[in-house]
Amino acid sequence: MSHTKKHKRYHYNSNDGRDEDEHQKHHLSKIIEQPIEEPVIDPSFDWLARRHYLTETYLIDSSMFSSPKDLEDFWKFVQKYQLFQQRRKQPHKPISTNVDQQRSNILNIPIIYDKNHRLNISITINKSLTHNVPRYDMTGEKIIDQYRLSSVRLAEFKSIIEYYFDFNQKEKFKRIYKLRQDQNNLPIANHRRELLEELKIHQVILIAGDTGCGKSTQIPRFLLEAGFDKIACTQPRRIACISLAKRVSYETLNEYDNQVGYQVRFEKTRVKSTRIIFMTEGILLRQLQTDSSLSDYDILVIDEVHERHLFTDFILGIIKCLITQRKDLKVILMSATINIELFSNYFENCPVVKVPGRLYKIQVNYLPIKVEESVGKTSKIDAKPYLRIMEQIDNKYPSTDRGDMLIFLSGMAEIQGVMEAAQSYAQEAQRWVVLPLHSALSLEEQDKVFDMAPEGIRKCVISTNIAETSVTIDGMRFIIDSGKVKEMSYDGKYKMQRLQEFNISRASAEQRKGRAGRTGPGVCYRLYSENDYLSFQEYSTPEIRRVPLDSLILQMISMGLKDPRKFPFVEPPDMTAIDSALLRLQEQAALSTIDCSLTSIGSMLARLPVDVSIGKMLIFACIFQYVNPILIMASALSIQSPFLSFLQCDPDTITRRRPMMSNHGDPFTLLNLFDEWIYVKSEGQNTRTWCKRRGVEEQRLYDITKLRRQFQDILRDYNMEIDYQQAKRRTTLEKREHWKKKQQLKDLKSEHDKESKQRKFLKLEVRQY
C-alpha cells in the first residue's frame, strides 16, 4: 500500500501485473474487470478477532507502518472504530449517485457514493489487496476459512485504514495549530522583529527576559527560520541542553530530523547536517582549544549568563576578545532580569531587548520554621513543615483544581529526607505523585518530571536549584522555598573545595517564586521570615570569586592567554587567587617556574576534563604502566561520591559496605566498589537492589563507566601505550578474565539505555529511591 491523491479509485490499468506469472494474472484480471465493491458496514463483524491474520497478510510488509508501535496504534483505532459502529442506531450504508457506468467512466464519478470519499487521503489498491486472499499464511499454515475476507469486507478494511490515516493527519494539524498559537502567545513573540533587526545592526545583543517569556526555546527557532545556519546555544547544565534540544526539535517540526541536536559530556546527537546545537559551557571551551576562532559557528547564544558560573564568565571574556577578530560572528546573551547593566556595559553598551514575563499573580506566604523544628548541621532535615503545606493544599483546594508543586531544597540528602516523608503521606492521601530532580539522576528519571499526573492527582517535584532557571516544568502552581542552596567554596586552610550550604540571594528567591505563576495564579511558601529575605544579599556571589582557579588558569594558558592577570573578566577575581593558582600549578609541574609557560605535563593536563591532581594521576599511570585501575579511580574521584551520605550512619548499610572498605583510603574503596558492581552485573543479579542495600547511587557507577571510556580515548589520542607491557605479561587465564571485564563494560551502556522508557503519564504509586 502507499499514499496517493484521490483519483480514479475504482478502475485500474489492466497492465498492472504484466510481469507477474500467469497464475497471478488470472486472478488479477477477474478483479480489474469489475469495480471494487463499496463497503457495507456490518457492526457485528469482529475485526479484532482477525488481527493476526490481517496484520500478517496486508500490513506487516507495508510501507505505511514503519514500526510495531504504528501497528499497535492502528489496532487501537480499529477497536474504537468497532465500538463506534456497534453503538450507532442505524448502520452506515453507501448511497447511489444515479450515474450509469458510461457516465461514471467519462466524468470520473463513482456509481456508489460513500462518505469516505471526503477524506483527505487515500491508499492505492495494489496486488497485496486485490489478488485472491491466500490460503496459506507466512508460516505455511493453512488459513482458517472464517478469517478470510470477501471483496466487500476487504473494501471495508481498506476504508478503515483510510479513516485511520485521515484521523492521524487531522490530529497532527490540530497539534501544529495549537503549537503555533502557544508560540504566538509567548511574550517573546512580540519582540521577534526587534530582535532580528538589532542583530542585523549590532554584533552583540542582550535579551533580558522574565521567567516564562519563552526566550530559551523561541530564540533558537527565530534564528533558524531567519536563515542562520550554524547556531551554538550554551547551557550551564546538561539536563537543560537535552530538554531544550528536544523541545526546539518539536517546535521546529524536526523531531525526526537532525537539524537540532545536543552535545554534553557523555553523549551527543550532532551530525554534519545539524544547524542548531545545544551544548554545555565545558564542551564549548574544549572546542576553543582546537579552534580558537570558533569557525564552525555563525552565531553564539549564551544562556543563563546571570548565574555567573565560572565557565560562563570565562566564555564571556573569550567572546569579548573574539569579536574583534571575527566581525561576522553574532552573539546573543540571554539573562533573567538580574543585573543586566553589568553585561550591557561589559560589551560596550550593547542593546538590550527587555521581554516581560507572562506571570500571573503570586501570593507569598512567609512561614519561618519554628526554633524547636530547626535542626543542627549534622541532623536529618525535618519534613514536618513540608508535609503541613501538602496537607493544607489538600484541604483548601479540590483535587479537580489542577496545579502541581515544586519544592526547592539545597541538596540530595535533604531531598531524600523530605521524599521519604512525602511518599508516606502520598500513599495515605492518594492525591500526590512525588518525584526527585537533581543532577545525579539518570536522564530517564529526570525526564519523568515533565510527564503529566493523572486526573485528580498532583505532582510534587523535589528539586535542587536546577529547577530555578535551567529547567522549566509546566503546571507548577505551588512553590515551597527552603531559602537554602549548596555551592562549592574553597577552604584555604585545608586547600580543598567543599560543598557548603548558604542562604540564597534575593534574586534567586524571586526566580523561585516566579516558577509558580507561569500558567495561572500561584502560591509561594517561603520557609523563612520576611526579615530573613531582606537580609539576603542582592545577587549570588560569582563562582569565580569563591572557588580555586587552577583548572581555569591552566585552560587560559593552554589557549595562548599568557598572563591571566590581564584577562578581561566580567568582574575580575582577587589577584591573590590568581597568584595562588599559578603557584599550585608550578608545584604540580604543569607550569614552568621560570616564565609560567606550559610544560609537557601541563599540555596534557589541559586536555583532561578533570582537576589537575586527578589528571596527573592518569599521566603517571601511563608512565608506570598501571592504567586500568587508575582509570577507574580517577573517574570515580571526578564525580560526586556514589555513596549516599544520608545513609552513612545506618548500621545495616555500614555492615554491607564494610567488605569494600580499604585501609588505603577512598580511592581504593571506590575501586573495590566498582569492581564488585561489575562482578554482580556479570552474574546477572539485580544491581539496583544491590546498590540500594549498600546506600549507593547506581547512576554514578554508570557515569564512572562512561568517564573511564572518555579518559581512555583521550590518553590514546596522545598515542600512549596503555598497559602494553602489562598485557604482554598476562597469562592466558588473566587475558580471558581481562577480556571478559572489558566486554562487560562495553555492554553496560546499551543495557542501561534499555532499562527504562519515558512515560507520558505518571502512575499513582509509591516510588522508592
Q: How far apart, in whole angstroms, are the C-alpha atoms of residue 240 and residue 242?
A: 6
DSSP helix/strand/coil, 722? coil
Q: Residue 38: pLDDT band by 50, 70, 90 thresholds?
A: very low
Residue 384 neighbours by CB under 8 Å, 6+ apart:
373, 421
Q: What is the pLDDT of residue 211?
A: 72
Per the CB < 8 A criterion, the answer to whether 280 and 310 are in contact is no
DSSP string, 643-691: B-GGGTT-HHHHHHHGGG--TT-HHHHHHHHHHHHHHHHHTT--HHHHH
pLDDT tens figures, 275-327: 999 999 989 998 998 898 999 999 999 999 998 999 999 999 999 999 999 99
Q: Which cell numbers in the block locate residue 443?
A: 536522564
Residues 223/298, Cβ–Cβ less than 8 Å: no
Cβ atoms within 10 Å of 88's Cβ, excluding its own: 10
Q: Which three cell numbers stand for residue 173?
A: 494539524
The confidence score (pLDDT) of residue 120 equals: 62
Q: Is 349 exposed, middle or buried (0-12, 13-18, 19+ CB in 10 A)?
A: exposed
3-state secondary structure 690-713: HHHHCCECHHHHHHHHHHHHHHHH
pLDDT in tens, 579-602: 999 999 999 999 998 888 999 899
Per-residue confidence (pLDDT) for residue 27, from 0 to 100: 38
| SS3 label, residue 232 | strand
**What pLDDT is stored for residue 1 in this prediction?**
44
- Whether residue 503 is predicted with pLDDT greater than 60 in this model: the reply is yes
Q: What angle do CA 66, 71, 73 make, to 5 degrees?
A: 115
| Residues 367-386: tens digit of each pLDDT | 998 765 555 444 578 899 99
- One-letter amino acid identity for 701? L
* Overall average pLDDT of the 644-661 stretch: 84
What percent of the chain has a predicted confidence (pLDDT) above 90? 34
Give the Cα separation of 214 and 126 in Å (integer): 49
Q: How far apart are CA 450 and CA 759, in angstroms?
A: 9
Q: What is the mean pLDDT of residues 715-734?
A: 56
Residue-level pLDDT at 723: 52
Confidence check: pLDDT of 610 > 80: no
Min mean pLDDT across 195-209, 219-233, 263-277, 642-656 is at 642-656
Do residues 385 and 241 make contact, with C-beta atoms less than 8 angstroms apart? no
Q: Which helix (H) or strand (E) holds 201?
A: helix 192-201
Q: What is the pLDDT of residues 385-430, one digit of tens each?
A: 999 999 999 999 998 888 999 999 998 889 988 999 999 999 998 9
Q: What DSSP character marks residue 610?
A: S
Where do we find the cell 522574565? 210
Please, are residues 206 and 344 in contact by the beta-carbon 8 Å criterion? yes
For residues 143 and 53, is the Cβ–Cβ distance under 8 A?
yes
Mean pLDDT score of the chain: 80
Query: For residue 764, which of 454, 460, 428, 461 has the smallest C-alpha distance?
Result: 454
**Per-residue model confidence (pLDDT) at position 123:** 64
pLDDT band of residue 625 (cuts 50, 70, 90) is: confident
Q: Over range 203-217, report the average pLDDT.
A: 89
Indicate the burial class of 599 (C-beta count within 10 angstroms; 0-12, 13-18, 19 or more).
Answer: middle
Residues 488 and 543: their CA atoms lie apart, in Å, by 8
Neighbours of 255 (CB within 10 A): 10
Contact 55, 71 (CB under 8 A): yes
Q: Which domains, from first to last, does the chain contain?
A: 3-170 (no CATH), 186-355 (3.40.50.300), 362-544 (3.40.50.300), 608-729 (no CATH)
pTM: 0.71
Q: Predicted confidence band at 19 (pLDDT cuts at 50, 70, 90)? A: very low
Distance, CA of 570 to CA of 553 (rounded, Å): 16
Kindly report the length of the chain.
769
Confidence of residue 22 (pLDDT cuts 50, 70, 90): very low
